[in-house]
Structure 1
Amino acid sequence: MTATSIFVNLPTTDLERSKSFYEALGFSINPLFTDENAACVVLDENIYFMVLTRDYLATFTDKQIIDTKTHAQTSISFTRDSRDEVDAVLVKGLAAGGSEPREAQDYGFMYSRDLEDPDGNILGFLFMEPAAAEQGPDAYMAGQGAAAPSATA
């Protein structure tokens, strides 16, 4: 069976700024699928962001394209191998024009930080203790002698 590829379409008001931002995070741009309307950001071999001008994105739907500076449509999260790697990607993103909309969230079993790209698209970066991923947060925290905090708190 062929691996599934994921393409996430994200709106932008400044395509060149978006390309620079995502390259600063360590991702690459596929020039074969990049033009004046869109840029193909390669996250890994099966995951891509198609950063599209708002006008071009509007050709894909009859729905209104929201203003991502004031409205959230989705939040996309990515795992990292450590808390330090989560912090490191935030440093890169902030230096490249992104913003951090809220403080880091530390649930004991999981550490996460949000980064908004210059257009307001929400990217989450998180580290989860491997044992918590295997056992579930409640069992992991019980083994640590603590109750798992609610991820919605």
Structure 2
Amino acid sequence: MYQQMIFVNLVTADVPATRKFYSGLGYGINEQFSSDDCVSVVISDTIVAMFLTPEHYARFTQKKIVDARTSSEVLLCLSAESRAKVDELVDKAIAAGGTSHGDPQDHGFMYGRAFDDLDGHTWEVMWMDPTAIQG
């Protein structure tokens, strides 16, 4: 079966700082699709976050580009394999210069936290008990 991929394109004010931030979280960089005005962050085999300078991003849209520090353009949510992995990733992000976003959400069968990256993009990290999904 074909594995559909998602390429999330986001604006960054500082490509080298973004590269360092996401590398510090343990994600790989695809150098083939990275340059001075873009960094390609490999989150998984099917998820890639493309961080582009505002000038480069503007080549792909005619809409106004929002400042994620003051406006919300998207909420991104990543799954985690355990509650501990949720905390691990969010704590790494905060230690690397990100900021905590909101309070932890603990519903017993589902647990999540969120962080804002260096440019204000909100990333939620969520774990859900597999038995809750099965019904």
Q: Aligning the two structures, in what range does the TM-score lie when normalised by the shorter sequence? A: over 0.9
Q: Verify the 8 A CA contact 2:101 2:113 in the aligned structure 1.
A: no
Q: Verify the 8 A CA contact 2:9 2:50 in the aligned structure 1.
A: yes
Aligned-residue CA RMSD in angstroms?
0.9
| Secondary structure in 2 matching 1:44 | coil
Q: Residue 35 of structure 1 aligns with which residue?
A: 35
Q: Verify the 8 A CA contact 2:42 2:49 in the aligned structure 1.
A: yes
Show structure 2 runs of 5+ residues with no match.
none
For 1:23, give the aligned amino acid.
Answer: S
Q: Residue 4 of structure 1 aligns with which residue?
A: 4
Q: Which runs of 4+ in 1 moved over 4 A?
A: none
Shift of 1:2: 2.7
**Aligned residue-pair number:** 135
Q: Residue 149 of structure 1 aligns with which residue?
A: none
Structure 1 length as normaliser, TM-score?
0.85
Q: What is the percent sequence identity of the aligned residues?
A: 37
Higher Cα Rg, which structure: 1
Shift of 1:13: 0.5
Q: Residue 100 of structure 1 aligns with which residue?
A: 100
Residue 57 (structure 2) pairs with residue 57 (structure 1): yes
Shift of 1:63: 0.2
Q: Verify the 8 A CA contact 2:5 2:47 in the aligned structure 1.
A: yes
For 2:106, give the aligned amino acid.
Answer: D
Q: Residue 67 of structure 2 aligns with which residue?
A: 67
Structure 2 length as normaliser, TM-score?
0.96
Cα distance in 1 for residues equivalent to 2:16 and 2:133: 37
Shift of 1:6: 0.9
| Secondary structure in 2 matching 1:56 | helix
Q: Residue 122 of structure 1 aligns with which residue?
A: 122
Q: Residue 44 of structure 2 aligns with which residue?
A: 44
Per-residue CA deviations over 1:37-95 (Å, capped at 9, x if unaligned) read: 11111111121001101111011000000000011111111111111111011111011
| Secondary structure in 2 matching 1:132 | helix
Cα distance in 2 for residues equivalent to 1:45 and 1:127: 19
